[in-house]
Chain A
Amino acid sequence: MAGVIRRRARRQRLFRWVVLTVLGIFFLLPLVAMLEFTTRGAGGGFSAHTWRLLVDWPKLTETYPDLSTGIRASFGLVLLTVALTLVLLVPTVIWVRLRLPRLRRLVEFLCLLPLTIPAIVLVVGLAPVYAWVTYFLGGSPLTLTFAYTVLVLPYAYRSVDAGLSAIDVRTLAEAARSLGAGWPTVIWRVVLPNIRSAVLSAAFLTVALVLGEFTIASLLNRTNLQVAVNLLGKSSATMSVAVSLAALLLAFVLLLLLSLVGDGRRRTLKKEIS
């Protein structure tokens, strides 16, 4: 009997490793190919020229002005979109949970709506609106913040909503209120600290989505990172692949950092207690 259980455990372990290896190859192989392509020198040898140029900001700006504009625009968009999404969404979702639970389905429907609308359809609808946006605010790529905020709503909403579902918001809010807290205090000092990781993951999803967005920016004639990479691909394939790989790695590092922040806090708490 013990032998059968051991054999079964060994088989399961082997299966797990096979699955992990296949998935690892599936995901890593294109990245390795990208890295190899961007480090291929003249005559097939190794060259770090593209990567050295990528991290030398003044030289990069001089050599590829459109790319540096796109990078700056995308980072600006990331900051603004994260800020606007969180400022609009988090208090709204908390308020609906606490005070207007009957509106929850409606808010959920509205937030998830962009998921069902293809980007091209969204642009058709947004184009006239953006004519006015351009009229009032100019043609800066940063005005894409408004479109991106709508675009990230489904992901950010799901994340925040899941965070709120994990705690008894109503009881916590009532407990805080009975102790003398006003609504802003309840949200800021009781609810937010307890959905911190959900808010962080909403922010991360927003970062990932904004860094990777191409269709809306391109169709609304704004230059962001992906539009710049696309343009660059026509003149310097090596640099455009390097930038794409760097953007992917950046997203990966962000994800890692976020999960480390959460784990680190948990570890610190455990250490303090033990």
Chain B
Amino acid sequence: MTASPVAAEPVGAAARHGVPVRLAGLRRSFGTTHALDGLDLDLAPGELVALLGPSGCGKTTALRVLAGLEEADAGRVLVDGEDVTDRPVNRRGMGMVFQAYSLFPHLTARENVEFGLRLRGRPGARRRQRAEEMLELVGIAAHGHRFPHQLSGGQQQRVALARALAIEPRVLLLDEPLSALDAKVRVQLRDEIRRIQLEVGTTTLFVTHDQEEALAVADRVGVMRGGRLEQLATPAEIYLRPATAFVADFVGLSNRIPGRSGPDGTIRVLGQTLPLVAPDAAPGTPDAPVTALVRPEAVDLLPAPDGDARVLAASFLGPISRVSVTLPDGTPVVAQVGSDRLADLTPGTPVRVRLRPAPVALAS
């Protein structure tokens, strides 16, 4: 954990009226496994924070502890300055969208949205009006009379979002809500979630294992590992200036290229001197062997008859392509190039490998 878990200023929101949330020193163990190991996390009012990490890193446990669905072994949960650690889930006033489809099968979409309002004793007319508004907000008003089994996965998750928002939650919790959807619907709904979240301004915690999803929707992204935050920062900072080797490795693709430590927080890789993202992480001794983590988009390939690297294969990804090359010492390197250059980079082509002078992280 290198970044300070203090509340950040909300980014990019129009009218925000969310509440601040603080998770302080949360610990939770399952047998000998520490799902949360002293997690500290602050969410600013109206902010959307995405928790990202590999399976078992504790991101879902953190969300469930915040929701009240799991009890923490130690630590506190504060919502709007109020300690809700010991408050049961049904009294926390949080809206939640689950990974699994969680609509009540015996109720229509509209009745599902009305469920929480009915429990709060809202009169029928107001309840129906609010349900209509919410269904309208998530773009599914025309399907309010349908039962869950008659809705697609994406539509069901929209209704689940409307149901969670209908109760005007203090905090919105999204537990991998898109992971069961196909790729196209996932991108559409991801953007919709962000639009709606900005519109209603509810403080939101979004748990996902999909880095693209996290980087696309969040004001800040928290990368978790072993029950703790490894880094909490804006998506751009996470991607461009990963604080640790784990973050650099986990978020986005990284090449592992051998090099030597240089002076003043730099390293020498492929004959070039590059700055380090974290100069403090450089080895104390000069000329020590290191492994640099270099993004594919920071690698350039120049076809040259005297080039000492060879193109192995290329993957066409639409406007861009990924080209795999092998260095003379056998190190594999992936470069990201414009697809218009693919014709010059056929397998077997000798190339020179150049690195853009962007800061790089060191592998642990």
B78 at the interface (CB under 8 A from A): no
A2 at the interface (CB under 8 A from B): no
Q: Is the interface of A mostly helix, strand, loop or mixed?
A: helix
Residue in B closest to A167 when the chains form the complex, CB atoms: B105
Task: Judge whether A273 and B150 touch: CB under 8 Å.
Answer: yes
Residue in B closest to A195 when the chains form the complex, CB atoms: B106
Task: Provide the residues of chain A in CB contact with B88, threshold 8 Å.
Answer: 177
Q: B136-177 vs A: 1/0 string, CB under 8 Å? A: 000000000111001000000000100110010000010000
B69 at the interface (CB under 8 A from A): yes
Task: Of the listed stretches A41-49, A168-176, A247-255, name the one at the interface; the rest are far from the partner chain.
Answer: A168-176
Shortest Cβ distance from B175 into chain A, in angstroms?
A: 10
Task: Judge whether A178 and B146 touch: CB under 8 Å.
Answer: no
Task: Judge whether A175 and B105 touch: CB under 8 Å.
Answer: no
Task: Judge whether B167 and A172 touch: CB under 8 Å.
Answer: no
B43 at the interface (CB under 8 A from A): no
Shortest Cβ distance from A151 into chain B, in angstroms?
A: 31
Compute how far the CA of A179 lies from the CA of B134 in the bound complex, rounded to whole angstroms.
Answer: 15
Interchain CB contact (< 8 A) of B102 among A174, A185, A273: A174
Task: Judge whether A168 and B100 touch: CB under 8 Å.
Answer: yes
Interchain CB contact (< 8 A) of A171 among B100, B119, B120, B163: B100
Interchain CB contact (< 8 A) of B90 among A178, A190, A269: A178
Compute how far the CA of A221 lies from the CA of B194 in the bound complex, rounded to whole angstroms.
Answer: 72
The answer to whether A179 and B106 touch (CB under 8 A), given A174-B69, A272-B145, is no
Compute how far the CA of A182 lies from the CA of B92 in the bound complex, rounded to whole angstroms.
Answer: 12
Task: Provide the residues of chain A in CB contact with B250, threshold 8 Å.
Answer: none
The answer to whether A177 and B106 touch (CB under 8 A), given A168-B100, A171-B98, is no
The answer to whether A273 and B89 touch (CB under 8 A), given A179-B116, A185-B119, A194-B104, is no
Compute how far the CA of A196 lies from the CA of B105 in the bound complex, rounded to whole angstroms.
Answer: 12
Compute how far the CA of A203 lies from the CA of B243 in the bound complex, rounded to whole angstroms.
Answer: 62
The answer to whether A180 and B120 touch (CB under 8 A), given A269-B147, A272-B145, A273-B147, is yes
A193 at the interface (CB under 8 A from B): yes
Compute how far the CA of A212 lies from the CA of B102 in the bound complex, rounded to whole angstroms.
Answer: 41
Task: Provide the residues of chain A in CB contact with B95, threshold 8 Å.
Answer: 178-179
Interchain CB contact (< 8 A) of B106 among A174, A181, A193: A193
Compute how far the CA of A176 lies from the CA of B160 in the bound complex, rounded to whole angstroms.
Answer: 11
Q: B92-103 vs A: 1/0 string, CB under 8 Å? A: 111110101111
Number of interface residues of B (CB under 8 A): 32
The answer to whether A181 and B104 touch (CB under 8 A), given A174-B98, A175-B96, A273-B145, is no
B67 at the interface (CB under 8 A from A): yes
Task: Judge whether A175 and B69 touch: CB under 8 Å.
Answer: no
Residue in B closest to A190 when the chains form the complex, CB atoms: B104
Task: Judge whether B98 and A179 touch: CB under 8 Å.
Answer: no
Shortest Cβ distance from A110 into chain B, in angstroms?
A: 27
Compute how far the CA of A171 lies from the CA of B97 in the bound complex, rounded to whole angstroms.
Answer: 10
Task: Provide the residues of chain B in CB contact with A179, threshold 8 Å.
Answer: 90, 95, 115-116, 119, 163-164, 167
Residue in B closest to A174 when the chains form the complex, CB atoms: B69
Compute how far the CA of A55 lies from the CA of B104 in the bound complex, rounded to whole angstroms.
Answer: 45
Residue in A closest to B146 when the chains form the complex, CB atoms: A273
Compute how far the CA of A180 lies from the CA of B96 in the bound complex, rounded to whole angstroms.
Answer: 11
Compute how far the CA of A155 lies from the CA of B286 in the bound complex, rounded to whole angstroms.
Answer: 77
Shortest Cβ distance from A265 into chain B, in angstroms?
A: 10
Task: Judge whether B100 and A178 touch: CB under 8 Å.
Answer: no
Interfacial residues, chain A to chain B (CB-CB below 8 A) = 167-168, 171-172, 174-182, 185, 190, 193-194, 196, 269, 272-273
26 contacts between A and B (CB under 8 A): A171-B102, A172-B104, A174-B69, A174-B89, A174-B98, A174-B102, A175-B98, A175-B102, A175-B163, A178-B67, A178-B95, A178-B96, A178-B164, A179-B90, A179-B95, A179-B164, A179-B167, A180-B91, A180-B116, A180-B167, A181-B119, A193-B104, A194-B105, A269-B147, A273-B146, A273-B150
